[in-house]
Amino acid sequence: MTEDPLLKIRDLSVAFRTSLGAAEAVSGVDLDLADGEVLGLVGESGSGKSVAMKAIMGLLPPRAETTGAVHFRGRDLLQASEREMRRLRGGRIAMVFQDPMMTLNPVLRIGTQMTEALHAHERMSSAAARERARDALGLVGIPSPEERLDAYPHQFSGGMRQRVAIAIALLHRPDLIIADEPTTALDVTIQAQIISEFQKLTEDQGTAVIWITHDLAIVSGLADRIAVMYGGRIVETGNIEDVLVAPKHPYTHGLIRSVPSQNSRGHRLAQIPGVTPSLARMPEGCAFRTRCERATEACTARPGRFGDVLTYHRCFHPHEEALV
């Protein structure tokens, strides 16, 4: 890793003021991302993974209180002006969302939406913009891109719509793409198509990717590094192979073992007892301790970061041995 990573997040916290008091959706997130690196951000619903990424992009509502530091190419995004953020968003940092039907405007032609995105960041003629848009559609594997520019979003299938969303994200050759569950709504075969296009394109362009998902299996084949979130905190992060083979945090451990597979056939799945606590009722100390079989008195204190920023876990009683 170079000394100055592409993205450097330190002690990022997001709290929402509610009638029940402040709910801390994201708490003390430390993360580094190098150029061209693919990070899998894994967590269950409500773990704060989407909120953390929206905080980076400055997309949270004003009632969210964001603290900490997010350095993108050395510039602190949390201190940046709205004007500056607008230049970055869609330009240097792009985002792909779960539901492409929500990202695309249903009453505008695809071509209009794509050239609009181009004109927002660059001065260029309409003809040149249209040409760039057409090339981008071709790049993500949409057949006869010239005609498809004049189509409306509803004329595309779900997989094709997600390709369009990816094409728009890639228009300005961003340094970083944040993909928020981009394949969750798609069929397995279409999912594989989208991931394979995504892989090709980001590798060609050297784009760094943060892939938000709840699906460990996708991340295992896609990412260089993984960060596992629980209750708003990154409980474990590291090299993907190390974490999947020998998870240290009991939550990661339980999560990997609860995924059904060929080896689990006919057996009971290992299950994590209980449910994810709500943000307002997060236990003190380690957020996972109420569901954890290794929890002791010590866990009522908040676990710090054990390890450096690239490889760490937050557990007083980590697993030492590898999974079988």
Partner 1 sequence: MTMAETAAGTSTPLLELRQVSCRFGARPDLAARIAIALGAAKPFPIIHALDEVDLTIRKGEVLGLVGESGCGKSTLGRIAAGILPPSVGQVFWKGEDRATLRGSRQRDADLEAQMIFQNPMAALNPRMTVEKLVAEAPSIHGLIKGSTSSYVDDYLTKAGFDPAMKKRLPHQFSGGQRARVNIARALAVQPDFLVCDESVAALDVSIQAQILNLFMDLREQLDLTYLFVSHDLGVVEHISDRVAIMYLGRVIEEAPVAEIFSRPNHPYTQQLLAEVPRIRPGKRRFAAMKGELPSPLNPPKGCHFHPRCPHAHDRCRIEVPQKREIAPGHVSACHLNDKQAV
Burial of 179 (0-12, 13-18, 19+ CB in 10 A): buried
In whole angstroms, the minimum distance from the beta carbon of 69 to partner 1 comes to 30
Nearer to partner 1, 18 or 196 (CB): 196
What is d(CA 68, CA 33) in angstroms, rounded to the nearest whole number? 17
Q: At what angle do helices 110-121 and 158-170 cross, to 10 degrees?
A: 20
Nearer to partner 1, 57 or 170 (CB): 170
CB 47 within 8 A of CB 232: yes
Nearer to partner 1, 1 or 269 (CB): 269
In whole angstroms, the minimum distance from the beta carbon of 297 to partner 1 comes to 25
CB 100 within 8 A of CB 50: no
Q: Which helix (H) or strand (E) holds 201?
A: helix 188-205
In whole angstroms, the minimum distance from the beta carbon of 264 to partner 1 comes to 5
In whole angstroms, the minimum distance from the beta carbon of 291 to partner 1 comes to 9
In whole angstroms, the minimum distance from the beta carbon of 91 to partner 1 comes to 28
Nearer to partner 1, 67 or 261 (CB): 261
Contact residues toward partner 1 (CB under 8 A) are 44-45, 157, 159-160, 187-193, 195-197, 199, 214-218, 220-224, 240-241, 244-245, 254-256, 258-262, 264-265, 268-272, 275-276
Nearer to partner 1, 214 or 294 (CB): 214
Sheet holding 75-76: strands in order across? Answer: 21-33, 7-18, 64-72, 75-76
CB 272 within 8 A of CB 291: yes
